Each structure stands twice: as structure tokens, then as C-alpha cells.
Structure 1
Amino acid sequence: MTDKHTTSPKKVQDIKVSILDLAPIIVGGTAADSFRNSLDLAQHAEQWGYHRYWLAEHHNMPGIASSATSVVIGYIAAGTHTIRVGSGGIMLPNHAPLMIAEQFGTLESLYPGRIDLGLGRAPGSDQPAMRALRRGLSSDGSDFPELLSELRGYLSGASEARPVGVRAVPGEGLTIPIWLLGSSGFSAQLAGHLGLPFAFASHFAPDYLLPALDLYRRNFQPSEALDEPYAMIGLNVIVADTDEEALKLSTSQQQQFLNLIRGRTGPLNPPVESMDALWNAQEEAHIRKQLSYTVTGSKETVLKKLQYFLDETGADELIVTAQVYDHEARLRSYQYLAEVVKDGASN
């Protein structure tokens, strides 16, 4: 970690906090329900002072509704006024860069100054979905730098970075902040070299977080986008009136991860009193490690845990997700978190 972050610790109340909405489809619910709930959450998040609201590209997952990510971004942006809306992220190797430039150029034209383009290089899907997306199974994301260069060429209009005679309309000449997302050192190093903001997926892949942040900061080169590194980390955060209630709410997410490691996916399940009857000791250890960047509890508990992760990482921004089955409980969790960030745990 750099001297900047060890000598100038930040307080939770001093940084921006944003939302990553995985647009959960719950047991007994539909994608239409999920979209209505997402818009409702975004509208509340705007009132509560959250900085940005991102949606993620996932395919072939019955529990996540945001597969057509740019379409959902447009829906959320149309129903809000000031909050930034974007992708966390678009999996660029799934797409032709020209199409992403045009889609986000359209979004930026419709909602100027509010659109973020977060980019990842993973498929966001399983192997059958990769084939259906016409993405070769041999694709390992190694062509991501070239795809990124082409995309940036369409947006900037730089002729050397795009095919001759091809322009993104709309898109060319628009200022759309590009973020690189990752869970390893690849995107961290690339983001540093290019002088772009970087977001790490520590909410589900925490193991390489600290080395990746160090790699990003050590390799950072100032650019037109940034004068100095800007790193955002993902956290699972669930806040309730008591620690016990928050822990119970979190069992919906634990069930989701349990199904994933067992090779099956489905809608988000309601919470249970205990996971003991659902997982074995090995599965529990694996999931707890995978979800180690998770903060659950009352406002007092959450404030302490957030400050711990902030001290550990020196993050410039937090982006939080809450896979909560009941929509009202999810709203309450984000409201409580906003109060923690604004005023500490005293509210």
C-alpha cells in the first residue's frame, strides 16, 4: 500500500458510497418485479445521497435480471434525476466495441453527465452461455486491452485506434467516464498504466484485493481522466436494527453462493434462521472466505466494520450490494447505511 493511504487514513463519513444492484429475481417473483424494485431503490438512493448506481452484466442466471445491462441503465436513468448510473460492469469481450460505444453514447446523449461505463473482461456467464454469446471458449480475456483501445478510439474519435471509416454515432466526442473492473492484477495494472479509475470485485473475490490495489497504485500514470489513482472496492453490506436480524437477512446471499458452488443457479431464496442444515463444514468455510468482505449488523456494528475495511484498503470509494430477499428490508438496509455514512451510528 502506498504512503498516501497509510499516512492519511479516511473516515467513512468522508468518502463516496455507491450501490451495485444485482437486480435480484426472488423466489415467487419475476424480472418485471425486479426492475420495478430496482427503480424504487435507485430513486430512494438518490434521495439518501448515494453517489452512483451500477448494474452488472450476467447471463444465464435465473436470479439476476440485468443481462441487457444498457437497457436497464436507461430505465434507471430515466426514472432518476441526479444520481450517476452505469455498468458494474459491461463484459467487453462479449460485445463488439462499436456497439458498446453506440449504446453508451446513446445513454450519455439522453442523460448527459450521469453515465459511467465500467468494463470487465470475464464472460459473466457459464460455458453454454459463452457459446450462445458467440464467444469462443478459448477466449481468456487476453484481447481485452485491444478491445478497450478500440472502444476508447470510437469515443475519442482517434483514428489510429479504430477501423478506418468507422465512427460511433452517437458516442464520438462524448465524455463518458471509463472504469476498469477486476478481481485480479490484470485490470489493476492496465488501469494504472492508462490512468483510469479501478474497481475491485472484493464483494465476491477478496483474495487478491490488497495486492491488486498496490499494483494499481504503483503503476498509475496520470492521464486526462485522472491526476492520481482512484480505487473503489466492492462490499456486501446488510444493515438492520440488530446484528441478529442482519445476519438472518444475509442467509439469502449465502444460499445463493451455496447453490453456485454446487453448480446450480436459481432465484434468490428467502432467509432462514440457520444455514447449518443447508451446508457442510467445507462449503461453509469456502463461502465465508468468498464473502469475507461482507459487513452485516446494526448501524453501530456496520460503522466499525466499514472503517476497518477502509483503513485496510485506503479505498477512495465504496460500492455496496445487498442481496436481500424482501424489498422493504433491502430499502431499510440502504437507508440505514446512508445514515451511517452521513452521521455515524448515532441516528
Structure 2
Amino acid sequence: MRSYLDFEKPVAELEAKVEELRALGENRDAVSISDDITRLENKASDALRDLYAKLTPWQKTLVARHPQRPHFIDYCSGLITEFTPLAGDRKFAEDEAIVGGFGRFRGQAVCVMGQEKGFNTETRIRHNFGMARPEGYRKAVRLMELADRFGLPVICFVDTAGAYPGIEAEERGQAEAIARSTEMQLSLGVPNVSVVIGEGGSGGAIAIATANKVLMLEHAIYSVISPEGAASILWRDSARAQDAATNMKITAQDLRRLGIIDGIVGEPMGGAHRDPKAAIASTGNAIEEALLDLGNMGPSELRDHRAEKFLNIGRKL
């Protein structure tokens, strides 16, 4: 069953009427109402198109967090064949907030990883809502070291509200683990591409998004802190999250203009959650194009390209 966001209520009402008419049409004695169904479908489609053409940053935040939006596991199963997951950081424990391993992307052997939020209560608890602990980032480092050793490109999918802020995570060196993962990405001698598929929150995101190419889905967000967190700090009022979202420039369109990201992956009309297969296919095409752009670079060129990319962000701003 499709879940609608608050601002989608006009579309929800139209689509509900369409379903009612379809149910009536299944009655053999009912008068043909196909024309009415078509008219309402077109009206709903136009309303959806108009609505998503002018989303506010806060509305994009809600779309990025949509519970039916495809997650890392969906992208992995849709784009990666022969996927073999690896577990554990070889230091403390396994952290299922970050899932990673090796497989083939359109025939090419790759290392792939990403944050997984989970789909229901059981999986969300198991994956800790996509908020990794230090061992998750140390696992990411272990995977990237293996990829670098065997000359395999690294593909990362970013979808997290941020790194886990619990006391035990801080005791085990959360900040150091994030820094090591970021450092590892900067030192890779193989191409790496990161895609923000939902939320890209704080250091939890940058730890696996320090890539040669950083892409974002059209309605994803990427920020140093959540809008609610920023509002609590700036105005002591989390209810002003909409103001924070607008001022923080967290949308793909703003970040592309500022040079923070390298490209935007278009989503199906109404967001990736309305047609996950199309969204996954478009993302795969964008990743393939990015890897082709980087394919002729040697290890030192890739490191220089990556370093220059992030240094240029500071220079431009």
C-alpha cells in the first residue's frame, strides 16, 4: 500500500478516487467508466508533476526520508551480481548499519557498501536505523583496503541521518573511526564513486562519501547536520526545521550549484519510492558513466583528482 506525505494529500485524494472507480468498473453490471478513470489519472499525474516541480527543501527532506524509498539493499540487489558480503571490523564486532562486500557491477568486479536503514521494526533495530558505530566505519576501511590491494573500484551508497551518537560509540572512538574512513577514501589508488540515495547526514555520510565522484538523487539531501538539529542549535526550537532546511542549502540542486557534488541522478515522477526499479536503473547508469570517466586514471592521478576536488570546495566557497 502506498504511503503519502502530508503535502501529497491532493494527489492522494485523486488517486483514491481512481481506485474507487476501478473497483466499480470490475462490477459486470456497471456502466463503462474508463473515460472517467483516464481523466482522473491524467489529473492526478499533472498534480503530482506540478507538486514535485516546486518542492521546498523541507519537502525534499521528507521525500528523502520516505519509508518506501529504496534502500541500499535494493540498490545492491538491483545493480550488483555475485554479491558476497563481508562482516566485522576484525577489532570489536560486526555493525549491520553498514553493509558491504564484493560483487560485479555490470560485469566489472567492485567493492560496494552502504548504510542500510531497514524496512520494518525488526530490520530497523538490527541495522540501527542506518546509524553506524565505530566498528561499522572500521569495517568500511577494511573493505576499502582490500579493494585497493586488488585494484577494484569502490562504490558507496549513502543513506544515514548521521553516525550513532551513543555513549558506547564515543567510548570506542567514533570520531577517530570516521576520520580513518575519510582518510582511507582519500588515499585510495582506485576509482571511487559515492551516491547519496536518501539522507546524507554529517560525518556519518562523509565517511563513505569522500569520493572522486559524488552523486545525489534528485530528491536526496546532504548536510552537516539534520534540519531539526540545526534548528535546535540556532533557534533553540526544533519546530523551525523548515527554516533551517531552507537556509542550509541541503538539496541536490543547491549543492550542485555550489560545487559540493558532481552530478544529480533524476528520479521518477513523484520520487524514487513510486518507481524503485526505474530509480535504481538510472542510478546504475550514472555510476557506470562516472566510472568510465575515471577509468583511464592511474593511482596517483586518482588521489590528486580526489584531493583537488575537495580542496576546490573550500576555494569556491
**TM interval, short-chain normalised:** 0.3 to 0.5
Greater RCO (Cα-Cα under 8 Å, separation 6 or more): 1
Higher helix share: 2
Q: Which has the larger radius of gyration?
A: 2
Q: TM-score under structure 1 normalisation? A: 0.32
Q: TM-score under structure 2 normalisation? A: 0.35
